[in-house]
Chain A
Amino acid sequence: MAIKNLAKAFCAGVALTFAATAVVADPVVGQPAPVFTGKTAEGSNLNLEALRGRTVVLEWTNHECPYVVKHYEKSGNIPQLQKEAAEDGIVWLQVISSAPGKQGHVDGATALKLNEQRGAHPSGVILDSDGSIGKLYAAQTSPHLFIINAEGVLEYKGGIDSIKSPKEGDIPKATNYVREALDAIAEGKKVPHPSTAPYGCSIKYAS
């Protein structure tokens, strides 16, 4: 009897292991975006599916990366986008996937304080220190942006704008892909550049 139970447990364990290593495909524009539950900076849990019915922007960020600094402190570009998004009822989530001990890793309180200091007002901050949400979305750089529409379908993924440089002087010259995509979604039109090259520092995953 005991052996039979053991055998059952063993088989279940093996099956679960294989299930866990099932290949997770990259998110594809035009397909439903991967769902997740993340821990926010305030300590609560946030389920992406609960946000169905509203446009959601996911912004991978790292406050020490020069490219993020370019769009925050040096130009106010992203805080401005966040403000516009809030006015339109769009949910803007910062996601911090830096592993503990690596550049950009902060706890909840520090993250909120940094936003206050930089004049940034995202709807929420998700702490992803094990990098699971980042890897779910195959996020590679900071900043790296994903826009999900009200039906839960991924409409945009890629960089914030068209000029890959660390200089804030290039921001006015570049096409802001995020604003362009959000405008298109609001008007019900097709997003002109649904997948663009992301640029910035690499996300500091644990491995």
Chain B
Amino acid sequence: MPDVINMFFKWFWRFIARFKWEGIILLAYALATVVSISAAEAAEQAATDQVTARLIAETPAVHPGAAIYLGVQQIIIPHWHTYWVNPGDSGNATIIEWELPAGASASEILWPAPGRISMGPITNYGYENEVTLLSRIKVPENLRPGVDSFAVKAVVDWLVCEEECIPQQVSLDLALPVLLRYEVPREKNPLITEALARLPVASPWPVRAFVGTAGKFQLALETPEGALAQLADAWFYPFEWGHIRQSDPQALTLSTSGLELTLPAGEAPLGLGSQLAGVLVLTEEGGATRSFEVRPTLAATPMGGSGVPGLATALLLALAGGIILNLMPCVFPVLSLKALSLIGQSGQSQTSIRRHGLVYTLGVLASFGLLAVVLIVLKAGGAQIGWGFQFQSPLFVLLTAYLMFAVGLSLSGVFYFGGSVAGLGSGLANKSGYAGSFFTGVLATVVATPCTAPFMAAALGYALTQPPAQLLAVFLSLGLGLALPYLLLSWWPGSQRWLPRPGAWMDKLKQAMAFPMYAAAVWLIWVLARQAGADAAALALGGIVLIGFAAWLHSATRNSGASATRLGSVFAGLAVLLALGGGYSAVKLGVPAQTNAQASHNWQAFDNARLQVLLDEGKPVFLNFTAAWCISCLVNERVALSHARVVDAFAADDITYLKGDWTNRDPAITAFLASFGRSGVPLYLFYPAGKSSEPVQLPQILTPDIVLATVRAEKAQTPEPTSLSATAINGGRTP
């Protein structure tokens, strides 16, 4: 017997001796596993004296690469509360710090609608009894179903208060099994579904905000009649501190068209054009609540009937605007070219002429339609855009400059392209003539965009706030207005009798029309210089030389035999590519030109904060919103605003002249324009002297007399401010 035992021990020691290190490691590992098993309990739930926190998942298992909701549920004992993202006058919002495996990501907390808890003069925003704070989590792609599990850890910090406050922190973790793609997870967690239902939604009805009098804001919700019949309470919870006085009551006015809340301004009040973002919570009798996330832009005046046109009015205004656009300096050369073509076609059949008219109209409508679609897509992407936005892109300006130059060359007779632009020259009766008409329509649209005509602004401002269908309709109406004069001319043979007889003078006129095109190219290069610097402009000019060379080369080799023609075309193509490449690099490397020193001008750059300060002081302010690519704006500036009499009047009346330059994208200016229902420049506003003065809008075509009349008239109406400095008894705000 002892022999067996001896043998066993001998074998055992020999075993240990041979596998010494492996044995030690194995032993250590075994111990560690035991220890870790006992220590790492599933900590999905953690409790403090006041709050029980649980980490819950939408589904009990996940798919790789999927996105699920995880929630931190807080069950709070009675009379205590935790806080919303804006905790109110005191307190701290709950913070969740996620520890996720590589390839996973977590969104910001999705906050359910808060309630308010008041203690004397202090109001807090938060949650009582129970709340689940959701986050959208992306599961990594590389988890293996059945093998890996999705392990998340959350460190949650909150402040829980009754009257006294206690900051607390817990650690929660959760491990979810990973399913194969075809496996469907079982039912969703009802707590998560409930939490999702408590999230604020986008408002189904229009919401507007305006700056009222005496330091208050007004928030207006337009509802259909009867929607608010059961309303017991309405409250606006701003996302950020300081926008409103959080502990002051919000006066509620109900009417058949909706509700209005009066919000007193807080320590950091917003100015015109800023967004008043927050959650509007409506409580019905019986306790049901609806909450909307709203972000209205602060407008200066309540949008009454005068401000917002209906769709029919907008369509009419757009049509009128389009017709007038034909007379604007951008479009007139193109229109006159079309008129020339009409004269040239006087020998053609009426049907052919009518068809040309229709094709031209189609070209215009297609271009406006495309523009509308681009704007719709950009708006859907959330961009802050306005009319004429395409000219805020230096690349577009460059390409348009090249195009203007190329068209000018064609008119000068250097080369012919696509059967000639205006449908003149040979081949009128064939299809290529139609292509020319279509292209002319497109060209007319392209050059029309920097110009704004009267009536256009209101229609476009309305259109850009509307859903896609209405926006498209207004743009097409504008296009129709632009094409209408030529369409009418081509349709009625009688009108053509008014046009002069064709002759050699037509060629001379065509060559003369090249010069407005060259002038347009020059102006666009100047805009480019303003946007991207002198070096960019120089490169663009080089590109223009290359285009000229390409055009000459192409036409010089046209009749010299097949191989020469081909070679000529190839080199011409190369030159054009070089021009484009050079232009692109110019734009990318460009820096905007420095703004001129203020000493030499009587205006200062527009700044929302500066405007607010001036308005609070009751000083008269003249606002001019302009852009280098907006010809109407530049003309107005030269003719009216730089006129000696106007400059003197501004100086004499101590009017601060602020200029907003929208040549390049500027979201602050876009928002400010939007608050006046406008989406493009020019916009001229005059705030007369006096603390709560309403701004006066000037027309889009200015003369010195119009400006002086506005400035002087307002001066006559407002009384001189008193010279007493007001000091209230307790040193409070001046009344």
A interface residues (Cβ-Cβ under 8 A, vs B):
22, 24-28, 31-35, 64-67, 102-103, 135-136, 138, 140-141, 152, 157-158, 164-167, 195, 197-207
- CB-CB nearest in chain B for A204: B163
Does chain A have a CB within 8 A of B729? Answer: yes
Pair B732/A141 contact, Cβ less than 8 Å: no
- Measured in the bound complex, the distance between the Cα atoms of B730 and A32 in whole Å is 8
Query: Quick check: A140 and B90 within 8 Å, CB to CB?
Result: yes
Considering the complex, which residues of chain B in the window 715-735 have a beta carbon less than 8 Å from any beta carbon of chain A? 727-734
B305 interfacial by beta-carbon distance below 8 Å = no
How far, in angstroms, from A35 to B727 measured CA to CA in the complex?
13
With A66-B165, A140-B90 as known contacts, state yes or no: A28 contacts B119, CB within 8 Å.
no
Contact A164 B92 (CB under 8 A): yes
Is A34 a contact of B242 with CB atoms below 8 Å?
Answer: no
Interface residues of B (CB under 8 A from A): 89-92, 119-122, 124, 157, 159, 161, 163-167, 241-242, 247, 267-268, 727-734
Complex interface: chain B residues within 8 A of A206 (CB):
120
Partner among B120, B122, B731 whose Cβ is within 8 Å of the Cβ of A35: B731
Task: Enumerate chain A residues within 8 angstroms of B90, measured Cβ to Cβ.
Answer: 140-141, 198-203
Given contacts A138-B121, A140-B121, contact A64 B731 (CB under 8 A): no
The chain A residue with its CB closest to the CB of B735 is: A25
Indicate whether A34 sits within 8 Å of B165 (C-beta atoms), given known contacts A141-B89, A201-B90, A202-B91.
no
Interface SS of A by simple majority: loop
Residue of B nearest to A29 (CB): B267
B733 touches A28 (CB 8 A): yes
Given contacts A24-B730, A205-B121, A207-B120, contact A165 B242 (CB under 8 A): no
For the complex of A and B, 7 pairs with smallest distance between CB atoms: A25-B732, A32-B731, A166-B167, A202-B90, A197-B241, A205-B120, A141-B90
Distance in Å from the Cβ of A93 to the closest Cβ of chain B? 18
User: Taking A165-B92, A197-B242, A201-B165 as contacts, is the C-beta distance between A34 and B122 under 8 angstroms?
Assistant: no
CA distance A204 to B120 in the complex (A): 9
Compute how far the CA of A34 lies from the CA of B89 in the bound complex, rounded to whole angstroms.
21
Which of A31, A65, A164, A167 touches B731 (beta carbons < 8 Å)? A31
Q: Could you tell me if A22 and B729 are in contact, using CB atoms closer than 8 angstroms?
A: yes
Q: Which residue of B lies closest to A31 (CB)?
A: B731
* A64 with B164: CB separation less than 8 A: yes
Residue of B nearest to A62 (CB): B164
- Pairs across A and B, CB under 8 Å, 8 listed: A26-B732, A33-B731, A65-B164, A195-B267, A197-B241, A199-B92, A202-B163, A206-B120
Q: Chain A residues near B730 (CB, 8 Å)? A: 24-25, 34-35, 136
Q: Output the nearest chain B residue to A32 by Cβ-Cβ distance.
A: B731
A55→B164 CA distance, assembly (Å): 32
**B245 nearest CB across to chain A (Å):** 8
- Chain A nearest CB from B482 CB (Å) reads 52
Q: Kindly count the residue-residue contacts between A and B in the assembled complex, taking CB atoms under 8 Å apart.
A: 90
How far in angstroms is the closest Cβ of chain A from B717?
Answer: 29
Q: How far is the CA of A138 from the CA of B266 in the complex (A)?
A: 12
Known: A198-B90, A202-B165. 8 other contacts (CB 8 A): A33-B731, A140-B121, A140-B247, A164-B92, A166-B92, A202-B122, A203-B122, A204-B163
With a cutoff of 8 Å between Cβ atoms, the chain B residues found around residue A64 in the complex are 164
- A82 → chain B, closest Cβ, in Å? 23
Within 8 Å CB of A141, what residues of B? 89-90
In contact, B89 and A140 (Cβ under 8 angstroms): yes
Could you tell me the distance in whole angstroms from the C-beta of A204 to the nearest C-beta in chain B?
6
Interface of B is mostly: loop
Partner of B732, one of A24, A66, A164, A207: A24
Residues of B within 8 A of A27 (CB): 731-732
> Could you tell me if A66 and B166 are in contact, using CB atoms closer than 8 angstroms?
yes
Once bound together, how far apart are the Cα atoms of A136 and B731, in whole Å?
Answer: 11
Cα distance A138–B161 when bound, in Å?
21
Bound-state Cα–Cα, A125 to B165, Å: 23
Is A66 in contact with B167, judged by CB distance below 8 angstroms? yes
> Within 8 Å CB of A22, what residues of B?
729
- Contact A102:B242 (CB < 8 A) given known A164-B92, A202-B89, A202-B124: no
Distance in angstroms between the alpha carbons of A164 and B95 in the assembled complex = 12
Cβ of B166: which chain A residues have Cβ within 8 Å of it?
66
Taking CB atoms, residues of chain B closer than 8 Å to A136 are 730
* Interchain CB contact (< 8 A) of A201 among B120, B164, B242, B267: B164
When chains A and B are docked, how far (Å) is the Cα of A34 from the Cα of B242?
21
A59 to B653, CA, bound (A): 46
A47 to chain B, nearest CB (A): 14
A146–chain B nearest beta-carbon distance, Å: 12
Contact status A103-B163, CB under 8 Å: yes
Which of chain A's residues have a CB closer than 8 A to the CB of B120? 205-207
Contact B122 A28 (CB under 8 A): no
A35 vs B90: C-alpha distance when bound (angstroms): 25
- A199–B241 Cα gap in the complex (Å)? 11
CB distance from A116 to the nearest CB of B (A): 24
Tell me which residues across on chain A come within 8 A of B157, comparing CB atoms: 165
Complex CA distance for A141 and B92, rounded to whole angstroms: 12
B163 touches A102 (CB 8 A): yes
Smallest Cβ distance from A142 to chain B, in angstroms? Answer: 8
Q: CA A201 – CA B92 in complex, angstroms?
A: 9
Residue of B nearest to A24 (CB): B730
What's the Cα separation between A158 and B242 when bound, in Å? 11
Task: Answer whether A28 and B732 are a contact pair too, CB < 8 Å, given A66-B166, A201-B165.
Answer: yes
Say how far B674's CB is from chain A's closest CB, in angstroms. 28
Q: Give chain B nearest CB distance to A14 CB in angstroms.
A: 19
Contacts of B733 in A (CB 8 A): 25-26, 28, 31
Residues in chain B near residue A167, CB distance under 8 A: 167
Please report the C-alpha to C-alpha distance between residue A157 and residue B161 in the assembled complex, in whole angstroms.
24
The answer on a CB contact under 8 Å between B121 and A135 is: yes
What is the minimal beta-carbon distance from B121 to any residue of chain A, in angstroms? Answer: 6
A135: nearest residue on chain B (CB-CB)?
B121
- Complex contacts, B122 vs chain A, CB 8 Å: 140, 202-203, 205
The minimal Cβ–Cβ distance linking A128 to chain B, given in whole angstroms, is 14
Query: A207 vs B157: C-alpha distance in the bound complex, in angstroms?
Result: 29
Q: Considering only CB atoms, which chain A residue lies closest to B167 in the complex?
A: A166
Chain A residues closer than 8 Å to B165, beta-carbon distance = 65-67, 201-202
Select one of A26, A102, A195, A204 contacting B268, CB under 8 A.
Answer: A195
Distance in angstroms between the alpha carbons of A103 and B164 in the assembled complex: 7
Chain B residues with CB below 8 A from A165, complex form: 92, 157
Q: How far is the CB of B528 from chain A (nearest CB, A)?
A: 38
Min C-beta distance of B433 to chain A, whole Å: 68
Chain A residues positioned under 8 Å from B163 (CB to CB): 102-103, 202, 204
